[in-house]
């Protein structure tokens, strides 16, 4: 039997000979219009030299020059699996575009361990800069030039993607991007953690070991679980979050739920002037909305997201 040097079952395994075997998240759906929702879908290259791309979604019945909110989405998968073209994300984002009637850019950032952190963050920032170039007529993508309202921009993500959305929003607050106004971020079961357990986490310390191993695997130069990239409480830039509205969804059976509540607490204490809401969905597991998109709780979350994206 071949020796496994890193085992992150059921996500991936790394063998002694260097082989990386992803056990899930490898599916691919072509960028074809969704017959169920009528949403138009296409893939775009952002930087071919580094294989950075995105999947774009445009809802049906949008008038020729009608401006609608723009939702930039970062998929989850522990920084190691999944993509913007994975079946679960393709289906979920299509439904969001139809329900909320928004333009969506789903970012295909590069994955670890082939591309260790902070590559995922840097790719996501480059993708956002490409997106916002269309606010100043520098870009050439017609769906963004003709239909994206850059005064109504939102970020979203689940799990590791929620972590990315949070950090890209902080960078927006610090560096600003001309022609764009970030209204809010929507985080589903975001991947945050910390060195010291908080209330509730003691019940499953085994998961702490898994989270720590995964974090140091994808970010081997990290200082550990109190790295500001994984623990918002330790981030001196937290109050710079570049929007004034945040919604966090947590699942009742997800150990990360305690960090979702704690995120609200530390964000409010940081001096950040916005409002943050946490919604807990009882009896659901991590990223439940992706595994059963038609279920009652997933549909309720979808409607909440659609409402959030159309506040202004």
| DSSP-H helix ranges across 176-227 | 205-218
* One-character DSSP codes across 11-72: TEEEETTS-EEE-SS---------TTT--EEEEEEEEGGGTEEEEEEE-SS--TT--EEEEE
CA distance 84 to 109: 9
Tell me the catalytic residues: 159, 254, 286
| DSSP code at position 198 | -
- The kind and range of the H/E element at 265 are helix 257-269
In this structure, the strands spanning 20-22 and 12-15 are antiparallel
**What is the crossing angle of helices 296-308 and 87-100, to 10°?**
50
CA distance 62 to 71: 16
Place of tokens 């995120």: 263
Burial (0-12, 13-18, 19+ Cβ within 10 Å), 32 = exposed
Exposure class string for 190-214: b at 16+ Cβ within 10 A, else e: bbbbbeeeeeebeeeeeebeebeeb
CA distance 31 to 53: 12
CA distance 150 to 62: 16
């Amino acid at each position: 039997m071949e020796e496994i040097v890193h085992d992150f079952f059921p996500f991936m395994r790394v063998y002694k000979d260097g082989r990386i075997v992803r056990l899930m998240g490898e599916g691919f759906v072509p960028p074809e219009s969704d017959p169920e929702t009528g949403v138009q879908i296409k893939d775009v290259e952002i930087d071919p030299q580094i294989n950075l791309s995105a999947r774009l979604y445009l809802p049906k019945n949008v008038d020729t020059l009608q401006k609608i909110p723009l939702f930039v989405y970062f998929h989850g998968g522990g920084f190691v699996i999944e993509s913007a073209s994975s079946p679960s994300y393709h289906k979920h984002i299509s439904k969001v575009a139809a329900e909320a009637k928004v333009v969506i850019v789903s970012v295909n950032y590069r994955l670890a361990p082939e591309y260790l952190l902070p590559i995922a963050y840097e790719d996501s920032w480059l993708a956002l800069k490409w997106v916002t170039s269309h606010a100043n007529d520098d870009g050439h993508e017609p769906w963004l030039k003709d239909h994206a309202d850059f005064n109504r921009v939102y970020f979203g993500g689940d799990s590791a993607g929620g972590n990315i959305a949070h950090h890209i929003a902080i960078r927006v607050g610090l560096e600003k991007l001309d022609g764009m106004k970030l209204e809010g971020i929507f985080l589903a079961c975001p991947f945050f953690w910390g060195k010291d357990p908080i209330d509730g986490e003691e019940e499953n310390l085994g998961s702490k070991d898994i989270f720590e191993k995964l974090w140091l695997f994808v970010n081997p130069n990290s200082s550990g679980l109190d790295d500001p990239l994984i623990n918002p409480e330790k981030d001196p830039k937290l109050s710079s979050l570049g929007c004034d509205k945040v919604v966090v969804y947590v699942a009742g059976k997800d150990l990360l739920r305690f960090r979702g509540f704690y995120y609200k607490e530390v964000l409010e204490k940081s001096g950040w002037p916005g409002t943050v809401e946490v919604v807990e969905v009882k009896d659901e597991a991590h990223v439940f909305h992706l595994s059963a998109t038609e279920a009652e709780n997933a549909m309720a979350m979808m409607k909440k997201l659609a409402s959030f994206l159309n506040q202004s």
